[in-house]
Amino acid sequence: MRIIFAGTPDFSVGCLEALIQAQHQVVAVYCQPDRPAGRGRKLQAGPVKQKALEHDIPVFQPMSLKGEDEQQQLRALDSDLMVVVAYGLLLPQAVLDTPRYGCINVHASLLPRWRGAAPIQRCIEAGDQETGVTIMQMDAGLDTGDMLTKTSLAIGAEMTGGELHDKLAVIGAKALIETIKDIPNGLNPNAQDHGLANYAHKLHKNDARIDWQQDAFAIVNKIRAFNPWPVCWTELDGQRIRLWQAQIDEDAQGRAGTILEASAAGIVVATGSAAVRITQLQAPGNKALAIKDFANGHDLQEWVGSLFQ
């Protein structure tokens, strides 16, 4: 097939590579404009753009696809299909109608469970035990299109957002290739039950602050979900402490936010229900460390009785 690929972040790269290896003709790649990155804030190409350039695939980076010039450019590519994977821009109806077989999306959730920008993190945060990848025929709504295929994955009890991201990227690439094989012969799409949909809001750094009034289950899920970004945090004596890994400690209780124990075995903090044992953290100006390593350079007993805020 002649395929236009639209994607921007690392999650999309596996799908682009899979299309190339399957010998589909990727006639163009669309991704968002380069963004400032690093200490120098220099413009940096995203992962998908870098991969496309490695394979000498033309790259287009419009701010929007609403303009007639952009839409004419896309029509001139004479594509059979447009594959969209975490592109980050909504496609107007004129774009959806351009390829012969329309546009399909690789979405990192078992739709309609989580629609929107951050389904991977939000499903862990919510305590879901299962997620997966849905390939859907795109329409003008936000992740509202009919479903073509679904592939499920169990969420491990300690799985982080980063680990789940990597697993779903692999599953998504495989599911994409299998789905595309059947498109010329016709698929039997299934409509979503819109009443079951939840919106996975985009992640922001302020979302990552811990509210110790929540129960231990919710706090541990949030720490897992936001690892490796934006990373959960709390404050101790005005200093921001980033929390990378934690477990539920059902035996300990106290005023929410109070540090009940602090040793090489972990920092136990009271919550709205039970307690959380922090096993990896990051102090200001330092790298993330397991508590047993962090304890080598800090007198953790001084923390006992203090309040995380």
How does pLDDT run across 13-55, given as a tens digit for each residue? Answer: 999 999 999 999 999 999 999 988 877 788 889 999 999 999 9
d(CA 64, CA 70): 8
Is 236 within the bounds of a domain? yes
Same domain, 79 and 216: no
Render pLDDT for 126-185 as a digit per residue (tens, 0 to 9). 999 999 999 999 999 999 999 999 999 999 999 999 999 999 999 999 999 999 999 988
For residues 161 and 18, state if they share a domain: yes
Residue 308 belongs to a domain: no
Whether 240 and 129 share a structural domain: no
The answer to whether residue 81 sits within a structural domain is yes
Q: Is 76 in the same domain as 162?
A: yes
**Separation between Cα atoms, residue 118 and residue 101, nearest integer Å:** 27
Q: Do 86 and 31 share a domain, yes or no?
A: yes
**CA dist list (Å): 16 to 53, 108, 109, 117, 176:** 12, 15, 19, 19, 10
Please give the Cα distance from 195 to 181 (Å, whole number): 31
Domain that includes residue 216, residue range: 205-303
Count of domains forming the chain: 2
Whole-model pTM: value is 0.95
- Mean pLDDT (the chain, rounded): 96
Same domain, 144 and 8: yes
- Contact in structure between 289 and 280 (CB atoms under 8 Å): yes
Residue 275 in domain: yes
Is 154 in the same domain as 215? Answer: no
CATH code at 261?
3.10.25.10
CA neighbor of 88 nearest in space, from 33, 160, 28: 33
69-127 tens-digit pLDDT = 999 999 999 999 999 999 999 899 999 999 999 999 999 999 999 999 999 999 999 99
Cα–Cα nearest to 25, from 5, 51, 48: 5
Task: Indicate whether 78 and 145 sit together in one domain.
Answer: yes
